[in-house]
Structure 1
């Protein structure tokens, strides 16, 4: 998909990395704050880890999800749930080069409201309050 700019956050290594990168591929490595990168992204491609999914949902970005294999299948299950909700386009393995144009098109066709609906900015304080309430109930009994 040479007509699109690709920005990669996080480390990239391995034999598959060519010595000369195409001009539309930008490797940023680790960044302190991914927020500005997500805010500019028309589409995010990433795994189905909690951090990635939470960040994409909070930013309300369209999402192509490539779940990583895990011992208990949590990323595969989460990706399947995102797909059922219309919150992501999912592929179980790295797409071949000729599959990317259709994959990008499908990702851009997603309604970002579907993944945004999964973000609750008050979830952590509500959970903390619930745990404190349970703990207080246990202490009283």
Structure 2
């Protein structure tokens, strides 16, 4: 039975935060542009435009990392454009799972290309170990407590 274990990414903002960040970014950028058009000093132009652009940029960024039957996947979305980076189980040489005493669980996978470290919640421990054990042999899985 195919399973998907979703990692903790910490980069997905709730909708209200995205809307607030976008609106505030537009206001900051508008203030900077109006100051530029009215001939104000550059310090009142550059800083609000920069802050507004960063707020708009941040509100459109999301990242998901998960493990499933296809391998390990990092999905990055920026304003609706998705980019998938995937390493199949054939490419993964070994896995190291670090159980951090009731805090977050870290999973590090090794391959011939650089892979991303994953973070999981403590309640996902059993599901994570079962899923990784299903696709990798026990000798290639190292669990640290």
**Smaller-chain TM-score bracket:** under 0.3
Give the structure with the higher percent strand: 2
Give the structure with the higher percent helix: 1
Larger Cα Rg: Structure 1 or Structure 2? 2
Q: Which has the higher contact order (CA 8 A, sep 6+)?
A: 2
